[in-house]
Amino acid sequence: MTLCRIEPISFETPKGEPDLRILIVEDEPTLGTQLKSTLEQNGYAVDLSVDGEDGHFLGSTEDYDAVVLDLGLPEIDGLTVLGMWRKENRNFPVLVLTARDSWSDKVAGLDAGADDYLAKPFQTEELIARLRALIRRASGNTSSELTAGPVRLDTRSGRVTLAGEPVKLTAQEYKLLSYLMHHKGKVVSRTELIEHIYDQDFDRDSNTIEVFVTRIRKKLGADVITTIRGLGYSLDDPAEPTRS
Ligand code: CA
């Protein structure tokens, strides 16, 4: 068994990293728990699964923005899980964890539909950087900065500005705004927001979303997020300059 060394990360500035929802499927308890907590400290909502059967189920039924998948798993091995997801058209980016120097694992992982791989042991910083890149690529953004009219959001620093002026958002407001900005121009339902922004333990009352949207509008302008009656919300580049 390969043990992984987890490097401690120092947080000099409050990070509001991507914010999105990640599934980790890893049977080694220490590694799984440490990864979960590090990703959570970086602003992600994280579910941890410790075997292939449960991991496959979560990936098939919940919506994730990215998955970290160990290959050596009890019940169903990682490669099989990945193949099953791809057959079910689950297209989230998957980063596969391979045993050290296992060249055949890497090839097999990529063949089965993995988007990236990382050999154990690895630096947590590298895992986070790769996840960030995968999520950006999957949402069609190549820069760490997302914009919508006068609103700019930097996924690396977690900073949000309105017409160049810094705006303070709470962690939950940031998560919601970031998700909408990653899906600019699309209608996003409340259910989708709840599923992507919060982990399984969160109070999933959909009124909570409405409260966050109202607060974001107060801070960034009433027309930054459009309510699509009966469908959800959308965030677009305004045709004219936004007035708040
Ligand atoms: Ca394993």
The string of DSSP codes covering 20-50 is -EEEEE---HHHHHHHHHHHHHTT-EEEEE-
What separation in Å is there between the alpha carbon of 84 and the centre of ligand 1?
18
pLDDT for res 18: 44
What separation in Å is there between the alpha carbon of 71 and the centre of ligand 1?
6
pLDDT for res 187: 92
Q: Over its length of 244 residues, how does the chain's per-residue pLDDT go in tens digits?
A: 445 554 444 333 334 444 689 999 999 999 999 999 999 998 899 999 999 999 999 999 998 999 999 999 999 999 999 999 999 989 899 999 987 667 788 788 888 889 999 999 899 999 999 998 898 888 776 677 888 989 999 887 889 999 999 999 988 899 899 999 988 888 999 888 888 777 655 566 667 888 899 999 999 998 899 999 889 999 988 765 444 4
What separation in Å is there between the alpha carbon of 240 and the centre of ligand 1?
53
Q: Considering the entire predicted model, what is its pTM?
A: 0.61
Q: Is 89 exposed, middle or buried (0-12, 13-18, 19+ CB in 10 A)?
A: exposed
What separation in Å is there between the alpha carbon of 132 and the centre of ligand 1?
23
What separation in Å is there between the alpha carbon of 26 and the centre of ligand 1?
6
What separation in Å is there between the alpha carbon of 31 and the centre of ligand 1?
10
Q: In what order do the strands lie in the sheet with 165-167?
A: 145-148, 151-154, 159-162, 165-167
For the chain, what are the domain ranges?
A: 21-138, 145-234
The string of DSSP codes covering 166-215 is EE---HHHHHHHHHHHHTTTS-B-HHHHHHHHS-TTS---THHHHHHHHH
What separation in Å is there between the alpha carbon of 230 and the centre of ligand 1?
44
What separation in Å is there between the alpha carbon of 52 and the centre of ligand 1?
10
Whole-angstrom CA distances from 100 to 7, 24, 105, 118, 122 are: 17, 19, 9, 9, 9
CATH assignment of 21-138, among 3.30.460.80, 3.40.640.10, 3.40.50.2300, 3.40.50.620: 3.40.50.2300
The string of DSSP codes covering 132-163 is HHHHHHHTT--SSEEEETTEEEETTTTEEEET
What separation in Å is there between the alpha carbon of 70 and the centre of ligand 1?
6
Give 48's contacts (C-beta < 8 A, 6+ positions apart): 23, 24, 26, 32, 33, 35, 36
pLDDT for res 106: 78
Topology given in CATH for the domain delimited by 145-234: Arc Repressor Mutant, subunit A (1.10.10)
What separation in Å is there between the alpha carbon of 28 and the centre of ligand 1?
6
For the chain, the residue count is 244
The tokens describing 217, both together, are 């509008």
What separation in Å is there between the alpha carbon of 73 and the centre of ligand 1?
5
pLDDT for res 23: 97
The tokens describing 43, both together, are 């602003």
What separation in Å is there between the alpha carbon of 119 and the centre of ligand 1?
12
